[in-house]
Structure 1
Amino acid sequence: MNYWFTALYLLLIPHLSVAQVDSSLIEQDTFVSVIHTDIIGNKIAFKSALRPLVQVPGGRAPFYTYLWDFGDGHFSTAAEPIHQYQKVGDYEVTVYAVNNYDDGRKPKRPKKKVTVSSAIASRDTSSSPFEESFFTSNGIFQLFKNSDAKPGEDMALVVGVNTNGKKGKVLLLTNEKAAGLDGFMLAGQSKYYNERVDSILHNKEINSLWANVKQSTFTKTGSPDYGIKEQKTFSSSSEAIAYFSELHMAYNSLATYEIDGSQSETQFSLINLDITEDMLVDTNAIVTITGVFIPEDGIANVHQLDVPVVKSHDPNKMSIRPARMNYRFQKKNKELTYKVQFQNDGEGDAKNIRLEMFLPAEVDLKTFKLQSLYPKCDSCLTTNARGCYQYDIKEDGTLTFHFKDISLPGTGAADITDQDSTKGFILFTVQTDKKLKNKAFKSYTNIYFDKNPPIKTNNATSRFRRIYSPLVTVGASRTFGTPTKNDIQYKFKPGIQIGLGIAPIAPYRKPYWQAEVYTSYYKEEAAQSIVEEGVVQYLDENGRNTEAKYTSYERNSNKSFMTIQVPVQIRININSFLSTGAGVSLRTDLNLKNEESVSYNTVTANGEISQVVLPSDVEKDKMSPIKINPFWDINVGRVYLGPALGIRIAYDTHQKANAGIYGIWRF
């Protein structure tokens, strides 16, 4: 028996060992990230130990990018930076790491307290390559993001200001109204230079701030820099207020703080932004963060930072703006802005990069207009161009953009200190060739680095936001035939109707609901004939009771009703000019008028036949019970937005089949 237990133990030991190794690799969220330090002369070398990266099966080799916060107002993007502190004290060092091409969660953010003694403190400046090349757009004010916006994670934003010794105010505008998302939440801000964070500003204070601006420089970047720079001089305070108010009103969120230029001529502030789950709606969009720096001399700087919304940190990506549009306000020719970004993750330089872009049929490729690109180069049509670009449209509708004879360094190169130098992009606009249908449309790009297999980007999808369309209806209805109940015949006069309704702006070839409430007016005439031979009836003729025999009589009624109906239906648009729907209507009738009379066919004493009509005292009907009427409906005309003509056929137990024709206008 012991022999068999020993044999079983020896067989299981190797499998148990393998299981333990695999478990350590899979258990990523519990990995304890740490920072190691080493003193080299009067400087400190930093190195992080983060969880092992997990390659996507069949994907590219993953790697980390870094943003180091040294706790003294200085930053670096190097993997293993060396920093020199100027003052004695304790500093909290943090590294913000982003896992590119990785199949796991973002690593936990490690922190470490370092103590700087007088032995290593130095008055010499210690600017990193990141800081030295920070102000590429305008030399004074710029924003930098350490990652794209991935829902459920955070993003570190570095705001840099060359104060030139002046005081001023920095404003940060997030959550564009056009995007319809509250995707950014302010989670914290550094105060290395005694920045004074302001409370909520009132409109009067903001307008006073705008009025002080004499001149403004506008720049825009999206990592790398776009090379866009515009200057504007304001002739009056009202012109400045109008310009900045329009900019401010485009956003939902505002954060402000004051800086003191006497603290340092160059100041970097780190702002933490949480990315909310709202961003999951558009993980292919480009959203914009705007920073404004207004110094005391009124010479302002506006810098915009494009931030792609992503599902994963993949440097090769296609984004679109706007990603969510308002169908009601779209123009016939809608401008779309696309950005294709890429990164060379090899060790050597990429010489030729080709982008094959597959754009939707709604886009007119002939309207392609290049806005910016990196690496910076001229068109290949330029005389004696070496590194250059060219683009053309293939017969299958593919738009091809080709960087030729360039030199884009790889992330694996030993001398790389600036990760942005390994990235490239093109930013361009196109126009839609016709009025868009209310449906999503997708684009994607195949990226070729030299002779390597293509990398396919995500699908950049543009869609319309779910908004509602109010509608009004005016029409008339009529009952088919003459319904009969027992021996009573009912005739209905045509009636008018007017109503209001609401529905989602109709999607393209997808069902949607519509609800209305309307009132209508109609008249009902009823007649009942009764034959009774030789019956004696005392009739009031000219104030006298006269005995008469009648052979038959007819009871007539004349009523007027106001109907209140609440139709609810499911509709579908067959095309741009025809839609149909079916549903039920909740209906009640209010009696406005009730008149009744009886016509007697009498025989006089001399045998003559005459007719006597006498009114009857009847009580007016009250509100009818709520009835449920099924109906079918069809619209012809501008069935998405605008005017159309409708026909509705309904069934009622009293009126039987009835139909109405009406005009409808969707707003």
Structure 2
Amino acid sequence: MLKLSGIILALLTVSFATSAQVMQDTTSRKADIIIEQSGNKASFSAQTPPLIQISGAPQAFYTYFWEFGDGNYSFKENPEHVYKDKGEYEVRLQVTNNYDNGKPPPSRPQPVKVGSIDHQPLPVVEEYESEGLAMLKTREPVPDEEMVVVMSYENKLASGTNGKLYLYFNERKFKASNFKIVEVRTHHGERQVENMLLSQYFNTMTEESQWASLSSGQAGLRYFGEGDSTKRKHIFVTIDESEQEFSDKLIFDFRDLAPGQRRNIFFTFKTTPEMIKDTSAIVKIRGVFVPDERSGNHQVEDLEMEITTSHDPNKMAVSDTRLNYRTRKHKKLKYKVRFQNNGEGPATTIKLDVDVPDIMDKSSLEVLDMHPKCPICPDNVPQVSYSCLDTLFSESQISFIFRNIYLPGSRQKGVEKYDSTKGFVQYRVKLKEKAPKVNSTSRTAIIFDKNEPILTNYAKTRFKPGLSLGAMAGYKAIRGLEDSKDYFFGVAVSPYMPHHGYLQAELQMSIGSYKDFNAYEVRTPFPNGIELTDIESVTEDFEYNYLNITLVPASYRYNISRFLGFGGGVQVSTKLFEREQVSRDYQYFIEFDGGREPSLDRNRTETVQATERTTDFNFGVFTGVDAGVDRIGPRAGVRYIYQARVPHNQWMFYLMWKF
């Protein structure tokens, strides 16, 4: 009995322990905000769950973004903040887990009540330098996760001003919406408006004076996009281009922005589950800042982001993940490789070994931007004593080498700005003139000083299938039909300039004719025992004219080279109508013992009126070869076709022009 009780107790203990373990495993991860306050001064820290290290990745770590509730923010792990005014503020925290397999731990906003002003405000150290407008993000976008975008705008004018802010998101080039707005937090009376009119200045100008201003270039504006940075765009052009490029927008009106004053608006975005899944794609959000409603002066800032599946500071992305092969000849792809020094000390040499796909022309390399900012190293100089970016070429790689730089480590003592430990290279390469239509992948090995390489994700570029229409015409030789003639024309649909194998559909219409012959005798004995026989000899000539339609729902073609291909497929055909005309020749004879005598006076010829009819479907299979100068242009081919119904055997000879 005691033994049985012991077994039951042991089972209950195991069951309880297992249940406790399951409950522990299912407990959601969260980050708790801890606040220590003295009057209007507060110190912030967070209690975070243990990190789940990604195997083979650098050491996992957290990054932090704090909103203090009064329009200020910090990326420090344990920031201090002094509130300027009395009141109640809501503190928010967003924690991002880098090199971690789990979800980012959420946190609940916490209130801070300021009842007295005991401390002088601390100097504000901005994370980003700007010319008036800055767009920054708290993390890279991951499907079905929240992120915060900060729009920071500053008055660079000599006097106070009113103006407008525009936020554009969800690029039209992607099928699905990538972002949705969860919340907008303003702290300086910014008011969301629906009016697209930019200001009272533009509202009161006549259309003639607006376009005169546009053509004269008097409204000097900051240019956005590629090319010469001294170029300017009119505000109307900026808004029009943004409206065409993005499907969603928010507009805000602001007032009384003092000279030198900087304000922040916080946007919480949720990335949609159906957002683009290509983790090498670059997406962007655009901000437009109109600081003076009495003029057309404005500033544009694009916030580029890379789609990720986990938060990894070492990343490679490409500007176009889907290309149109028809416009490839002058297409240039923009790549961005970003990296972060996660060490306890600075890095002085950073090498990026970038795989270059075969379809890319390495000699067309253009370095667009980099950080740390430095000049390009001179050619044929083995060693330099200053900071520069060197580029080396091998058969399948481009190596970017930062020489003699100082990039602090994220775990280095005294490093407060998290972004100071990050760097990037942005470059552009052109597709080869005769690049094959194949998908390409690129990857980067990042080497800090003499440490082991860190491999990034793959940046993938695929060509859109595209459609190629072909016009075809030819002749069919049909065995088993007398004097057969069959001329056809049709259209073909296939992918545009496929590399090797592809599917092709066709629709053909043919006009044809053929002849047939028949002969027989009708024998009628004379009555009353007369040993004579009346003979009617009939000769029939048939002539058929028809209109035929043939559908090739799918055929597989394979290009052995640019000049030769082969393939096969299935087809179904039917005659839309067939007209039959019969000509009968009647000859009469009297047959007697030993011979026959013609009855010429009875001979006659008749033609039967044409009749029209349709026929049942006829299924067939075919195989053939074709040749031509290119996959786009003229082709000539021959096919053998076998049909289920007579006539079974056909040969088809055709010419095709693909567009």
TM-score under structure 2 normalisation?
Answer: 0.84
Q: Distance in 2 between matches of 1:642 and 1:69?
A: 62
Residue aligning to 1:529: 519
Matched, 1:566 2:551: yes
Residue aligning to 1:35: 33
Q: Distance in 1 between matches of 2:248 and 2:90?
A: 29
Sort the Cα spacing of 1:300 and 1:200 in 2 relative to 1 into closer, same or farther, 3 A: closer
Measured against aligned partners, the alpha-carbon deviations of 1:178-232 in whole angstroms (never above 9, x if no partner) come to 4555322333322322322233859999x97996871221368xxxxx9x98233
Residue aligning to 2:183: 188
Sort the Cα spacing of 1:107 and 1:633 in 2 relative to 1 into closer, same or farther, 3 A: farther
Residue aligning to 2:431: 432
Residue aligning to 2:289: 293
* Residues 374, 425 of structure 1: 8 Å contact kept: yes
1:251 is displaced (CA, Å) by: 3.0
Q: Superposition pairs for residues 37-186 of structure 1, below 5 Å?
A: 37-117=35-115, 119-120=116-117, 125-126=121-122, 128-129=124-125, 132-134=126-128, 136-137=129-130, 139-163=131-155, 164=157, 165-180=160-175, 182-186=177-181
Q: Secondary structure at the match of 1:64?
A: strand
Q: Find the partner of 1:519 among 487, 501, 509.
A: 509
Sort the Cα spacing of 1:259 and 1:283 in 2 relative to 1 into closer, same or farther, 3 A: same
1:310 is displaced (CA, Å) by: 1.5
The aligned amino acid for 1:636 is A
Matched, 1:644 2:635: yes
Percent identity over the alignment is 26
Q: Secondary structure at the match of 2:277?
A: helix
Q: Distance in 2 between matches of 1:497 and 1:72?
A: 74
1:144 is displaced (CA, Å) by: 0.6
Q: Superposition pairs for residues 353-392 of structure 1, below 5 Å?
A: 353-381=350-378, 385-392=385-392
The aligned amino acid for 1:413 is Q
Matched, 1:600 2:576: no
Sort the Cα spacing of 1:182 and 1:553 in 2 relative to 1 into closer, same or farther, 3 A: same
Measured against aligned partners, the alpha-carbon deviations of 1:498-554 in whole angstroms (never above 9, x if no partner) come to 34x544446544554x33333222123222222445789xxxxxxxxxxx9656322
Q: Distance in 1 between matches of 2:174 and 2:436?
A: 19
Residue aligning to 1:306: 304
Runs of 5+ consecutive residues of structure 1 not aligned to the other structure: 221-225, 484-489, 537-547
Sort the Cα spacing of 1:13 and 1:346 in 2 relative to 1 into closer, same or farther, 3 A: farther
Residue aligning to 1:486: none
Q: Distance in 2 between matches of 1:109 and 1:586?
A: 64
Q: Distance in 1 between matches of 2:571 and 2:368?
A: 54
Q: Distance in 1 between matches of 2:634 and 2:135?
A: 48
Sort the Cα spacing of 1:127 and 1:622 in 2 relative to 1 into closer, same or farther, 3 A: farther
The aligned amino acid for 2:516 is A
Sort the Cα spacing of 1:202 and 1:465 in 2 relative to 1 into closer, same or farther, 3 A: farther
Measured against aligned partners, the alpha-carbon deviations of 1:440-466 in whole angstroms (never above 9, x if no partner) come to 111111111112111111111111234
1:55 is displaced (CA, Å) by: 0.8
Q: Distance in 2 between matches of 1:404 and 1:153?
A: 37
Q: Superposition pairs for residues 334-413 of structure 1, below 5 Å?
A: 334-381=331-378, 385-394=385-394, 396-413=395-412
Q: Secondary structure at the match of 2:556?
A: strand
Residue aligning to 2:472: 474
Sort the Cα spacing of 1:593 and 1:115 in 2 relative to 1 into closer, same or farther, 3 A: same
* Residues 281, 306 of structure 2: 8 Å contact kept: yes
* Residues 144, 158 of structure 1: 8 Å contact kept: yes
1:606 is displaced (CA, Å) by: 6.5
* Residues 477, 658 of structure 1: 8 Å contact kept: no
Question: Larger deviation: 185-194 or 370-379?
Answer: 185-194
1:263 is displaced (CA, Å) by: 8.0
Q: Distance in 2 between matches of 1:162 and 1:267?
A: 6
Q: Superposition pairs for residues 261-272 of structure 1, below 5 Å?
A: 261-262=256-257, 265-272=261-268
1:298 is displaced (CA, Å) by: 1.2
The aligned amino acid for 1:398 is Q
Q: Find the partner of 2:253 among 258, 271, 275.
A: 258
* Residues 578, 614 of structure 2: 8 Å contact kept: no
Matched, 1:614 2:606: yes
Paired positions, count: 625
Q: Secondary structure at the match of 2:71?
A: coil
Q: Distance in 2 between matches of 1:40 and 1:587?
A: 88
Sort the Cα spacing of 1:60 and 1:390 in 2 relative to 1 into closer, same or farther, 3 A: same
* Residues 352, 402 of structure 1: 8 Å contact kept: yes
Residue aligning to 1:661: 653
Sort the Cα spacing of 1:115 and 1:466 in 2 relative to 1 into closer, same or farther, 3 A: farther
Measured against aligned partners, the alpha-carbon deviations of 1:616-650 in whole angstroms (never above 9, x if no partner) come to 245x2333233333333544337754543344433
Q: Find the partner of 1:632 among 618, 623, 639.
A: 623
1:290 is displaced (CA, Å) by: 2.3
Q: Distance in 2 between matches of 1:248 and 1:322?
A: 20
1:125 is displaced (CA, Å) by: 4.9
* Residues 315, 337 of structure 2: 8 Å contact kept: yes
* Residues 59, 99 of structure 2: 8 Å contact kept: yes
Q: Distance in 1 between matches of 2:6 and 2:228?
A: 78
Question: Larger deviation: 91-100 or 182-191?
Answer: 182-191
Sort the Cα spacing of 1:357 and 1:535 in 2 relative to 1 into closer, same or farther, 3 A: farther
Matched, 1:443 2:448: no
Q: Secondary structure at the match of 1:599?
A: strand
Q: Distance in 2 between matches of 1:13 and 1:534?
A: 111
RMSD: 3.6
Q: Distance in 1 between matches of 2:512 and 2:539?
A: 23
Sort the Cα spacing of 1:464 and 1:597 in 2 relative to 1 into closer, same or farther, 3 A: same
The aligned amino acid for 1:553 is V
Q: Distance in 1 between matches of 2:483 and 2:314?
A: 73
Measured against aligned partners, the alpha-carbon deviations of 1:469-522 in whole angstroms (never above 9, x if no partner) come to 152433133233224xxxxxx5421223234x544446544554x333332221
1:82 is displaced (CA, Å) by: 1.4
1:252 is displaced (CA, Å) by: 3.3
Question: Larger deviation: 3-12 or 58-67?
Answer: 3-12
Sort the Cα spacing of 1:169 and 1:621 in 2 relative to 1 into closer, same or farther, 3 A: same
Q: Distance in 2 between matches of 1:601 and 1:631?
A: 46
Q: Secondary structure at the match of 1:438?
A: coil
1:438 is displaced (CA, Å) by: 2.5
* Residues 219, 229 of structure 1: 8 Å contact kept: no
Residue aligning to 1:276: 272
Residue aligning to 1:421: 420
Measured against aligned partners, the alpha-carbon deviations of 1:134-155 in whole angstroms (never above 9, x if no partner) come to 2x24x20121111112222222
The aligned amino acid for 1:495 is Y
Sort the Cα spacing of 1:88 and 1:365 in 2 relative to 1 into closer, same or farther, 3 A: same
Runs of 5+ consecutive residues of structure 2 not aligned to the other structure: 527-532, 591-595
1:421 is displaced (CA, Å) by: 0.6
Q: Distance in 2 between matches of 1:616 and 1:19?
A: 94
1:162 is displaced (CA, Å) by: 0.9
Q: Secondary structure at the match of 2:229?
A: strand
* Residues 316, 342 of structure 1: 8 Å contact kept: yes
Q: Secondary structure at the match of 2:231?
A: strand
Q: Secondary structure at the match of 2:59?
A: coil
* Residues 571, 579 of structure 1: 8 Å contact kept: no
Q: Distance in 1 between matches of 2:185 and 2:258?
A: 14
The aligned amino acid for 1:292 is V
Q: Secondary structure at the match of 2:419?
A: helix
